[in-house]
Structure 1
Amino acid sequence: MNAYKDLIAAYQAKHPEVEIDYQSFPYDVYPQKLKASFIAKNPPDIAEMFGTWVPVYSTNGLLAEIPDGERLRDGYYKAPLGGYSLNGKLYGLPLEFNIENGGMLIHPKMLKEKGIEGPPSTWEELVESARKLTVRDGKGIKVKGFDFVSGDNITFTFLSMILQQNGKYWGENDHVNFRTPEAKKAMQALVSLIKDDKVADLTTFGGELDISDYFFQGSSAMTYRGPWSIAAGLNTYKAEDFEYVPVPSFTANPPSYAAESGWGLVASQKSKQRKAAVDFIEFVSSNENLLQWNLSTFTVPAKKEVAENPEFLKANPFMKTSLDILTLGEWIGPITDRDYFFKVINDHFQLMASGQETVEAGLRGIEKSINDNQDQHK
């Protein structure tokens, strides 16, 4: 919130004729409130949107085009821009790179106590280390060797493991295709971590705490989570004995991954102040202003020059793991209902991991449910 207020004050100092009324809402109500404002034809001049929401609005002609899109596009990583792009044009600009993959939290002391010299460098080493690190008591798993069981991570890891096999998961007509050998191999490996390797379980899935909270409480040795979890460890838990390290690729290929377009700014096409609204978005998106925004919000930069600025890494040394792989990110694709997409994968994963459904049946169910939903939103 303060990051926006500072930028608004800086912009108004340069443009005293412009008055910006800043309003914020709880996330639980914001998406519906935003949608209702556009339906009522009384949208905000400028709105913060999550990248996955943007295509619904841009496809329906509700957002203003950002001028000079071709030039601007070259300055950003491709994954954050995906949701803001339509037919070669930009309808907003991302403020962050919403990366959930590629890095994990580890307790170096736990690894050392088990005779593990440093973080794993291959997927096979990851699984082997996770087995050694898992601690059980009479009630089940006391310390998870490798925790990846969260609403976002199951989906992102599954998709990324497909990409790391040089596979694809989008077919024709914005339909997913999970009948490929790559999809089956990826899902089987994830399910095996629960069923066969037993390095994690489903006991905390959907609970009040995030899996990063359990990590900082000492309930897991290695936890697959986005870099935003670092801030929670530093600020909430005052943690010191942890590192944020790369997650090895599932294959010998580079650790490519799927990523959503994160939070950014858009302007309403119908705004009477459209020119000023677009100008403010461009002002916020300057290298200097974005650097300060990313630093103050502890977010990964979507813009190349900001991510490559030594000042950013100096202020956030834990971010190195994520910064090193930003070029490997691919836009997750044209999902029409983000919550449903992730829920379907998560629901079937639980059935597969608990032995109530085979991997083959689970993938068929995921594919059919998502594709039916994609069709409903066309």
Structure 2
Amino acid sequence: MRFARVAAICLSFCITFAISGCSLGGNPDSNTDDGKVKLVFWAHQEDAFVEAYHKQIEAYQNEHPNVEIKFQTFPYEIYNQKLKASFSARTPPDIAEMFGTWVPEYSRNGALAELPNGEALSKEYYPAPVGGYMLDGKLYGLPMEYNIENGGMLIHPQMLKEKGIESLPSTWDELVDDAKKLTVRDGKGMKVKGFDFVSTDNITFTFLSLILQQKGHFWGENDHVDFQTPEAVKAMTALKALVADDKVADLTTFGGQLDTSDYFFQGNSAMTYRGPWTIAAGLDNYQVKDFDYVPVPSFTSEKPFFAAESGWGTVVAQKSKVKAEALDFIQFMAQKDRLKAWNLGTFTVPAKKEVAVDPEFVKENPYMKTSLAILQYGQWIGPIADRDYFFKQVNDHFQLIVMGKESVEDGLKTMERAINDSQDNHK
């Protein structure tokens, strides 16, 4: 997740989400006094995002002089709770930026406006990013980005060259062999990790993706996960081996304040499995130039299928007093050239197909080449009721498995049972 380094706040709905059966009154700042339609638009605070939204708002208001958009932003660590409270209090913004994982709870409770011609519109996007915005074949928002964490890795070409590795790994076995050569140890432990994937998001995403690359599945009936499959056992066994047997990564930095990409840019890993959003961090925060972003080979001979969440997008409150104008604005931002400019300005992967396949996009942002090449293989992660809890279960049991405190089979059974209990509690 792009902002995983900020305190995670996708909490379960412990605040009463009194939407079903209620009548939302709309935000009091939304009105049509003085002849102007006034829209309230909320988003989280992130410099590149805020600047990109301001440009969209200015362009829209220039074309629609009768519309005034009041844009308000909030710190990421409180934003989700702010949204929940506003919808519960019946004073939601007309337009809200939401992360795709949050959207299903709102759409299931009738809080969001359906987009007209949603079935046709949804086909303009890749299935993974639009999945969270869909419910029963209806579309309840538009994704602005494709939130991809897998498929590509950061590498230090010079480190590979120094170890005599002349070409990128093309199979999983080659990846593991190269990672072993690249791992450096000293008297204090692991100095350079050969292949670092041990982060809060990537453990889970890699586990699920390795299942998909075996043509397996991880969802059963009634929105329950199914980790009692040969594919799930093989996937978790392979991840355990990277740490416990091959020793190309470890748990020493897991859960710390820094991201795995920070350690990479500091020179503490040779290859790091992470989403393309980390590239901007390296360029801006570390001024590092001796790196590249390249494909990670598939676990099998199949295509590099992967699981992905729906990323940031925009939705409209069902009871907004100016719903028609609000829906028009989010569709305005979704026009190809406007969305392309937004993705380039925010260094995000396009969720819309026509933007992703535009040769000018990769020309302007060559670091995106690896990610753009695999977007078609992404699958929506599915109807997770509590994102934090789901990921925590996978991460916690992965650590226990690596440390030998649980077998792979027992760990999968325990995490499956806990996640499915959580799924049931949120129905």
CA distance in 1, matches of 2:133, 2:291: 35
Q: Which amino acid aligns with 2:321?
A: K
1:65 aligns with 2:109: no
Conserved? CA contact 1:80–1:98, under 8 Å: yes
1:160 aligns with 2:223: no
1:335 aligns with 2:379: no
Conserved? CA contact 1:108–1:118, under 8 Å: no
CA distance in 1, matches of 2:119, 2:199: 37
Conserved? CA contact 1:160–1:258, under 8 Å: yes
2:275 matched residue in structure 1: 226
Residue of structure 2 aligned with 1:323, choices 343, 350, 372 = 372
Q: CA deviation at 1:75?
A: 1.1
Kindly report the root-mean-square deviation, in angstroms, between the aligned alpha carbons of the 2 structures: 0.6
Q: Which amino acid aligns with 2:277?
A: W
CA distance in 2, matches of 1:252, 1:260: 24
CA distance in 2, matches of 1:333, 1:279: 28
Q: For structure 2, which runs of at least 5 residues remain unmatched after alignment?
A: 1-49
Q: CA deviation at 1:112?
A: 0.9
For 1:50-89, what aligned pairs fall within 5 Å after superposition? 50-89=99-138
CA distance in 2, matches of 1:287, 1:359: 46
2:303 matched residue in structure 1: 254
Q: Which amino acid aligns with 2:192?
A: V
For 1:119-198, what aligned pairs fall within 5 Å after superposition? 119-198=168-247
1:366 matched residue in structure 2: 415
Cα-to-partner distance string for 1:167-206 (whole Å, 9 max, x where unaligned): 0000000000001000000000001100000000000001
3-state DSSP of counterpart to 1:24: strand
1:47 matched residue in structure 2: 96
Cα-to-partner distance string for 1:31-75 (whole Å, 9 max, x where unaligned): 001000000011000000000110000000000001111221221
Residue of structure 1 aligned with 2:139, choices 71, 82, 90 = 90
Q: CA deviation at 1:221?
A: 0.3
Q: CA deviation at 1:234?
A: 1.0
TM-score, L = length of structure 1:
0.99
Cα-to-partner distance string for 1:294-318 (whole Å, 9 max, x where unaligned): 0000000000111111221011101
3-state DSSP of counterpart to 1:172: coil
Instruction: Tell me the number of residue pairs that the alignment of Structure 1 and Structure 2 aligns.
Output: 378
Identical-pair percentage: 70
Q: CA deviation at 1:361?
A: 1.1
Q: CA deviation at 1:142?
A: 0.5
Q: CA deviation at 1:365?
A: 0.9
CA distance in 2, matches of 1:144, 1:207: 16
Q: CA deviation at 1:23?
A: 0.5
3-state DSSP of counterpart to 2:68: coil
CA distance in 2, matches of 1:202, 1:349: 10
TM-score, L = length of structure 2:
0.88
1:312 matched residue in structure 2: 361
Q: CA deviation at 1:139?
A: 1.3
1:286 aligns with 2:335: yes
3-state DSSP of counterpart to 1:142: strand
Q: CA deviation at 1:235?
A: 1.1
Q: CA deviation at 1:18?
A: 1.0
Q: Which amino acid aligns with 1:277?
A: A
Residue of structure 2 aligned with 1:108, choices 128, 153, 157 = 157
CA distance in 2, matches of 1:104, 1:97: 17
3-state DSSP of counterpart to 1:299: coil
1:34 matched residue in structure 2: 83
Q: For structure 1, which runs of at least 5 residues remain unmatched after alignment?
A: none
2:35 matched residue in structure 1: none
1:206 aligns with 2:281: no
Q: CA deviation at 1:118?
A: 1.9
CA distance in 2, matches of 1:201, 1:142: 11
Q: Which range moved further: 354-363 or 152-161?
A: 354-363
Q: Which amino acid aligns with 2:212?
A: L
1:266 aligns with 2:315: yes
